[in-house]
Structure 1
């Protein structure tokens, strides 16, 4: 029986008249609940997806926990296999313990060979197979967010892939998102065949044509929006059933749903640089020879943007897609930029 079911059984065994719990299993469940609230839900569990989404969607009505905790950023890595840029990320996270948490969604059964000293050790969540362009991609995203929501210290949530690299140090990124008044979800209205052209009238009445949006899969969002994402059962069935290739659901579901429900809370931009200039169904892949000081400087200084109502020059914090052989030049050229110690 899953931890969730043990918890629920303990709650249901309460004596409503006296407010007392009478069984040893309920005492264990209360202990588990206390550890969950203040220590985080275990990464390895056997909770099913429906149970997980329900449990993650729970939110307290009372503001402020009784125990003050540092707000953390949850880094959600979606990968099919290994993390070839892990040494770069180890450098990025070093010295910032207590201000981040990591969750990895890989292919089911994939075992990553990592030392216990690695920040990625033991951070794989229960996963399911995902297919590019299909609803399983959104399922994996929601599964990652849901697991991260079960740690009540996680305040911001950023989605990354195994080909992503950081462009600034952790402290700069942490301050940027923790103090942000918006969530960084790419959202735009594309009137062409690859935007509104993918809309189906079957989306009615939940989504009208003029509400249909497109955007980057690589989001960063605050806890309120993350809660809404895992709790959603209004828009998700429509996208599951009626946005199928050549409608690519991971490009439309989150941008459309969040823009309808929380449009004013979105910055309408991603924090992850992606190069689509080479055309095709996938963005450009950068290898060893592409990673030069000039190339990285262009990414880090890609132009001005709006942040909390003012114009700033720091807009992008991550970039993709980097091949495994790009690790050495990335380590050499970004060492001073991403190291916090």
Structure 2
């Protein structure tokens, strides 16, 4: 019995004591398991706070959604923070594959070069009404302009990042290139129309869209004008090898296709020379020479050498005739549509066509009311 007592004493001293230490741990573990089966509201506060402070496991990375071609072709926002250099570089890109793997209606980009408000905006809104998806609008205003069309207007949110312009200066050409570049970012834009705040449409939208998208040429004034040779300077020959024989003149209000628009925005050979010249020559009037001369320099053949925007220069001033409220009549609009005073051949795709002009300028602010009244009867919209 003494031996048994000794064995029990050894068990208690070496093993029994350790079991007593383990028992509380087992009880705590059991308590935690039971509490885990209940709601979080029954957890002790100290336990919940320790859980909340512990780092959560990293979430699994989300699966990248598939982005198809349709998403890629969505028109980009007109607001961005690109510099002109970045914008022109991006807009100059073109796919090498000639055929397109998608089908979309060709759009006409309407580029408005304005000081601020568009006083004839209600007339243009009637013109665009019901033809969504067939046009894009881009507006370049003075950077100081803080106004905005109403939210229900097609012009709302269409002002691009702009810079200051001056009459007769190369800053106007820079604004034209800026408008073209923004419009080129929308791959559905196939034709590009430069307009001012004093321009009006002479026909309804379907007619304008059909004439422009159906043409195999651009419509840019680019002609030899001996009276304008006084504006040529040997500086151009020294700076960029532009000769007098290559010198051209024309109205800045153009209608061009996508291929020519890319040529204009990607020109980094001749544009710097014009800009440098105008920096030392206030009112250099190069807005009438840069694009017409560029077409001559690059040998552009797909051009009708005429504009589709009418202006009456017969008064012999530095600005064309301005039409006010009392000037706007049915007879005036019909004469302009018929090519009054153009003195040019209004052929279309190498064939006879009666459409000499699609747009006209300059119309004053107070001409809106009679224009609005004549639009349904004469222009075919409204």
Residue 294 of structure 1 deviates from its aligned partner by 1.2
Q: 1:233 to 1:266 in 2, by over 3 A?
A: same
1:151 aligned to 183, 186, 196, which one? Answer: 186
Equivalence for 2:243: 208
TM-score (norm 2): 0.78
C-alpha separation between the residues in 2 aligned to 1:254 and 1:139?
Answer: 11
1:327 aligned to 356, 362, 368, which one? Answer: 368
In the alignment, does 2:187 pair up with 1:187? Answer: no
In the alignment, does 2:352 pair up with 1:317? Answer: no
C-alpha separation between the residues in 1 aligned to 2:381 and 2:276?
Answer: 45
Equivalence for 1:97: 132
Q: Trace 1:100-119 onto structure 2 (pairs within 5 A).
A: 100-119=135-154
Contact kept, 8 Å, 1:36 with 1:150, in 2: the verdict is no
Equivalence for 1:227: 262
1:281 aligned to 314, 318, 338, which one? Answer: 318
Equivalence for 2:172: 137
Equivalence for 1:251: 288
C-alpha separation between the residues in 2 aligned to 1:85 and 1:155?
Answer: 25
More strand by share: 1
Residue 197 of structure 1 deviates from its aligned partner by 0.9
C-alpha separation between the residues in 2 aligned to 1:164 and 1:123?
Answer: 18
Q: 1:176 to 1:71 in 2, by over 3 A?
A: same
2:230 aligned to 197, 204, 216, which one? Answer: 197
C-alpha separation between the residues in 1 aligned to 2:190 and 2:112?
Answer: 17
Residue 202 of structure 1 deviates from its aligned partner by 1.3
Equivalence for 1:85: 120
Q: 1:87 to 1:262 in 2, by over 3 A?
A: farther
TM-score (norm 1): 0.87
Equivalence for 1:73: 108
The CA deviation string for residues 259-288 of structure 1, in whole angstroms up to 9 with x for no partner, is: 322432111100111111122211111100
Contact kept, 8 Å, 1:91 with 1:339, in 2: the verdict is no
Secondary structure in structure 2 of the residue aligned to 1:305: coil
In the alignment, does 2:208 pair up with 1:167? Answer: no
Root mean square deviation, CA, Å? 2.0
4+ residue segments displaced more than 3 Å: 33-37, 243-247, 336-341
Q: Trace 1:13-24 onto structure 2 (pairs within 5 A).
A: none
1:305 aligned to 346, 360, 364, which one? Answer: 346
1:52 aligned to 69, 87, 97, which one? Answer: 87
Aligned residues: 312
Equivalence for 2:330: 293
Residue 64 of structure 1 deviates from its aligned partner by 2.9
C-alpha separation between the residues in 2 aligned to 1:179 and 1:35?
Answer: 25
Q: Which runs of 5+ in 2 are unaligned?
A: 1-60
Q: 1:117 to 1:246 in 2, by over 3 A?
A: closer
C-alpha separation between the residues in 1 aligned to 2:76 and 2:245?
Answer: 40
Work out which of the two has the higher radius of gyration on C-alpha atoms and give 1 or 2: 2
C-alpha separation between the residues in 2 aligned to 1:169 and 1:82?
Answer: 23
Q: Which runs of 5+ in 1 are unaligned?
A: 1-23
C-alpha separation between the residues in 2 aligned to 1:75 and 1:107?
Answer: 18
Contact kept, 8 Å, 2:248 with 2:292, in 1: the verdict is yes
Contact kept, 8 Å, 2:334 with 2:378, in 1: the verdict is no
